[in-house]
């Protein structure tokens, strides 16, 4: 299994990503890193990053775009072409750098492409602008996978790409093989989605490019330890991960604030392994048979057997 964890959790106590790589070396089971662009490249050279990853047995999955204050009224769909172009250029830089560092994908979360008020934006114009920008990026480097991570709200009241269905609709409109979706478990809970449903829809279309696993109470992006709040939903989610033989990365997008980042990463690895063990114990075939019965009461047998 390819596992990665959130670098920023470690940056509370470490100076830069090079120091974080040294720490990650000590967490069993973590073998990949996702870096934020441009923020994680502040004060370090690309060569230093490359060398330190190699030294600590880590591979780059890819870069995740982080748009700062210039983009506060929108990134790729910004009404002002000059700002939208700057956002597009930042994505192109991330693609070039990912290739240079041996990664295979960039992840784009558009935190500011959204709205707060009624009558604030032209919806279809914004949508079409996004489609066009994404298509430009897809053709910029056909070998690079580009994945859209949606989040329903925060910092905007409404995001343009807010749920699994809307993001899959966007992928239909983009119509490029190298474009896919990244599902963040907490973001799905915030939207009131059942995570396994969105996951199955994405797998079924061969569009699942990334998983951010975590947990939360649904109202905000809590970023809590895997399985700590929604055990049965996590179990169902990971059942589909196994069923579809997902080959991508599972990234722990969790926010240890008062906890040791090392211990927290370690427990996430143990939690995910335990969930997969339980799925094995109950049995893929048995779970499949229960789903086919379409019976809510019988479905609880999976929960009961998991508790044994
Ligand atoms: Mn995430």
Ligand 1 centroid to Cα of residue 304, in Å, is: 31
DSSP state of 154: S
- The CA distance from 33 to 13, in Å, is 18
**pLDDT confidence of 12, banded at 50, 70, 90?**
very high
Mean of all residue pLDDT scores within the chain = 97
Cβ atoms 233, 300 nearer than 8 A:
no
pLDDT digits (tens, 9 = 90+) for 162-180: 999 999 999 999 999 999 9
Of 96, 36, 89, 34, which is closest to residue 59 (Cα–Cα)? 34
pLDDT digits (tens, 9 = 90+) for 220-274: 999 999 999 999 999 999 999 999 999 999 999 999 999 999 999 999 999 999 9
Ligand 1 centroid to Cα of residue 285, in Å, is: 31
Model-level pTM? 0.97
**pLDDT confidence of 131, banded at 50, 70, 90?**
very high
Ligand 1 centroid to Cα of residue 184, in Å, is: 5
Give the pLDDT score at 199: 98
Which CATH number applies to 2-276: 3.40.50.720, 3.40.630.30, 1.10.3720.10, 3.20.20.150?
A: 3.20.20.150
Ligand 1 centroid to Cα of residue 25, in Å, is: 22
pLDDT digits (tens, 9 = 90+) for 185-225: 999 999 999 999 999 999 999 999 999 999 999 999 999 99
Secondary-structure percent of the chain, ordered helix, strand, coil, rounded to 5 = 50, 15, 35
Give the pLDDT score at 61: 95
- The CA distance from 204 to 54, in Å, is 35
CA angle 185, 256, 230 (to 5 degrees): 35
Give the pLDDT score at 140: 98
Give the pLDDT score at 6: 96
> What stretch of H or E contains 12?
none
Domain spans in the chain, listed from the N-terminal domain onward: 2-276
Mark the residues whose beta carbon lies below 5 A from ion ligand 1. Answer: 184, 212, 253
| Over residues 151-167, mean pLDDT | 98
Contacts for 280-289: CB closer than 8 Å, 24+ residues apart? 281/305, 281/306, 282/306, 284/239, 284/242, 284/243, 287/239, 288/243
| Over residues 47-70, mean pLDDT | 96
Ligand 1 centroid to Cα of residue 286, in Å, is: 32
Q: Is the dihedral of CA 51, 12, 89, 4 positive or negative?
A: positive
Q: CA gyration radius for the chain?
A: 19
Ligand 1 centroid to Cα of residue 159, in Å, is: 15
């Amino acid at each position: 299994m390819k596992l990665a964890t959130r670098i920023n959790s470690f940056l509370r106590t470490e100076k830069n990503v090079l120091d974080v790589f040294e720490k990650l070396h000590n967490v069993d089971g973590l073998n990949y890193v996702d870096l934020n662009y441009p923020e994680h490249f502040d004060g370090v050279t690309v060569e230093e990053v490359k060398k330190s990853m190699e030294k600590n047995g880590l591979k780059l999955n890819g870069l995740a775009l982080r748009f700062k204050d210039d983009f506060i009224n929108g990134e790729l769909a910004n009404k002002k072409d000059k700002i939208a172009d700057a956002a597009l250029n930042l994505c192109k830089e991330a693609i070039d750098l990912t290739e240079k560092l041996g990664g295979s994908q960039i992840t784009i979360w558009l935190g500011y492409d959204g709205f707060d008020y009624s009558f604030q934006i032209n919806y279809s114009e914004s949508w079409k602008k996004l489609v066009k920008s994404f298509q430009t990026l897809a053709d910029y480097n056909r070998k690079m996978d580009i994945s859209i991570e949606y989040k329903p709200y925060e910092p905007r009241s409404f995001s343009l790409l807010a749920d699994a269905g809307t993001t899959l609709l966007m992928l239909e409109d983009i119509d490029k093989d190298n474009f896919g979706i990244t599902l963040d478990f907490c973001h799905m809970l915030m939207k009131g989605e059942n995570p396994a449903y969105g996951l199955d829809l994405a797998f079924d279309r061969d569009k699942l490019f990334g998983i951010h696993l975590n947990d939360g109470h649904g109202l905000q992006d809590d970023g809590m330890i895997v399985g700590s709040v929604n055990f049965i939903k996590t179990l169902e989610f990971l059942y589909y991960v196994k069923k579809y033989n997902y080959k991508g990365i599972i990234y722990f997008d969790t926010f240890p604030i008062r906890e040791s980042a090392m211990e927290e990463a370690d427990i996430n690895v143990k939690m995910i392994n335990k969930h997969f063990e339980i799925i094995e114990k109950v049995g893929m075939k048995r779970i499949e048979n229960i789903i086919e019965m379409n019976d809510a009461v019988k479905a609880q047998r999976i929960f009961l057997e998991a508790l044994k």
